[in-house]
Structure 1
């Protein structure tokens, strides 16, 4: 079964259009000649964004990611967040053309399936069709452990309540996405709606439903969540995920 693109048509709501246009123009000016293409994913390009709750998610593809100064990029994001308070957060990911083409089940999947091209030539068109398989799921989660450990450390060390809430929501979302990847062979489609993901997990995963519902509640409203309690649940969920992924890898090896 071949994965279809999540966003087939760009439908940006009026309250976000000025931001998107000016943000892209600013990025292109700041890093002139260094950017191949710019992409978005999530609710803003889909036209389903919720003011003051939705994030702006960009991906920059370039020849060499080192050409993009992360500190300058972070400063640009901070400026635009202040100018457009309708946004909850701006996340900008950077990858190379080689990443997209040489890792079709990782960066290729991200650009081809999850994102939509906002500027430049869509390099996702050069990525071969992505077939849902255990190999794809394993490749897709190659860096999940590292990402989860990074968020875990950041949350453990956070002292600011706003940061804690942001990390809890982000951590919850990352774990729900990881669990959803386990059921791709059952659903046959990638979802970017967290509620739909949660329901699919409950239908197909043999995991304690209460753990999944807890994560979803923390993603929906990360305020007043006890960090220690959350980390305990997160560790339990990740342990389930890792065991399921290892079982998938072992099963695949036995058939090779």
Structure 2
């Protein structure tokens, strides 16, 4: 039977992955938050700051007031020190406290050399070039290649699930039975598994989307026997429930199967230093 042919999206006219966000798409309600981040990041890191980026639903224009978080990536001229990480946590805490339209702040902090390294070319490098929107400084995408939705990109972005699952089991075992403990885990693990399932089929689908439901539908076209489980995970990625049983199915069933199939189709992610 011939494989299903789905319409590609997220590509430019030459078939390369297009950058998915822009400052022009930031919803009006979130513009004060973005402006505050743009003002405060240079004050925190001074001349050590190379550049800063937005990613996630806010630059994609899909953020929901009171439900979405602000996602930042900060590139420093040197590798970040513990003091830099503390500054990033302080920034996240203060922005979250001041702006009720966001539900949390996530800040990734990396050195410029790592983001441009050969080892990260098809992982963090791709992330910056395709999923991050420039906010401050020189755009590192100018030093990175253009990317296609191929098996190399699939392997280097999400080919490490088997290594993650033992850590996930530890986090689940350590979590108490409260919403505060379980909701973030369900949201995070649901999103991670749906994105991994999508990149498993991404080369055949020949496109890109960051919408979890679209990711699940793309996957379902190639693995119908697992479709309902992925669709349910996509829903929980947006609207998590505090259900430990869901987490256990992730690490005992869906996760191991997905890791094995990923390794069979694309191989395993190259080790990092």
Instruction: Determine if contact 1:11/1:45 at 8 Å carries over to the other structure.
Output: yes
- Residues 152 and 53 from structure 1, CA distance in 2 versus in 1: closer, same or farther, beyond 3 angstroms? farther
Residues 184, 190 of structure 1: 8 Å contact kept: yes
Matched with 1:253 is: none
TM-score between both structures, scaled by the size of structure 2? 0.83
Mapped to 1, the partners of 2:98 and 2:187 lie a distance apart of 23
Equivalent residue number for residue 124 of structure 2: 107
What displacement does 1:227 show? Answer: 0.7
1:201 aligns with 2:216: no
What RMSD, in angstroms, separates the aligned Cα atoms of the two structures?
Answer: 2.2
Asked whether 1:247 is paired with 2:261, we answer no
Please give the secondary structure, in 2, of the residue aligned with 1:66: coil
Contact 1:38 1:117 in 2 (8 A): yes
The farther-off stretch of 230-239 and 108-117 is 230-239
For these two proteins, the number of residue pairs brought into alignment is 250
Aligned counterparts of 1:242 and 1:51: Cα–Cα separation in 2: 35
Gaps of 5+ in 1: 251-256
TM-score, structure 1 as length reference: 0.88
Report if the CA contact (8 A) 1:44-1:56 is conserved.
yes
User: For residues 212 and 161 of structure 1, what CA distance do their matches in structure 2 show?
Assistant: 22
Task: For residue 15 of structure 1, report the CA deviation from its aligned partner.
Answer: 1.4
| Counterpart among 64, 70, 73 of residue 59 in structure 1 | 73
Q: How does 1:112-131 map to 2 (within 5 A)?
A: 112-131=129-148
For the structure 1 residues 59 and 235, does the alpha-carbon distance in structure 2 shift closer, same or farther, using more than 3 Å as the test? Answer: farther
Q: 1:46: which partner in 2?
A: 60
Q: Distance in 2 between matches of 1:8 and 1:20?
A: 12
Aligned 8 A contact 1:7 1:114 in 2: yes
Once the two structures are superposed, residues 210-245 of structure 1 have per-residue CA deviations (whole angstroms, 9 ceiling, x without a partner) of 32122123223213x421343223431211221112
Taking a change above 3 Å as real, the CA distance of residues 167 and 95 of structure 1, as seen in their structure-2 partners, is: same
CA contact (8 A) 1:52 1:88 kept: yes
Residue 163 (structure 2) pairs with residue 156 (structure 1): no
Change (3 A) 1:240 1:9: same
Tell me what 2:47 maps to: 33
Query: Is the counterpart of residue 13 in structure 1 residue 30 in structure 2?
Result: no
Deviation, 1:52, is: 1.0
**Whole-Å separation in 2 of the counterparts to 1:8 and 1:235:** 39
What is residue 71 of structure 1 aligned with on the other side? 86
CA distances 1:121-154 after superposition (whole Å, capped 9, x unpaired): 1111210111332222111224444455444433
The structural deviation recorded for 1:9 is 5.7
**Range moving further from structure 2, 153-162 or 124-133:** 153-162
1:188-208 Cα distance to aligned partner (Å, 9 max, x none): 222111111111111123542
Distance change >3 Å, CA 246–CA 147, structure 1 → 2: closer
Cα distance between partner residues in 2 of 1:163 and 1:44: 25
Would you say 1:166 and 2:180 are equivalent positions?
no
CA distance in 2, matches of 1:241, 1:215: 13
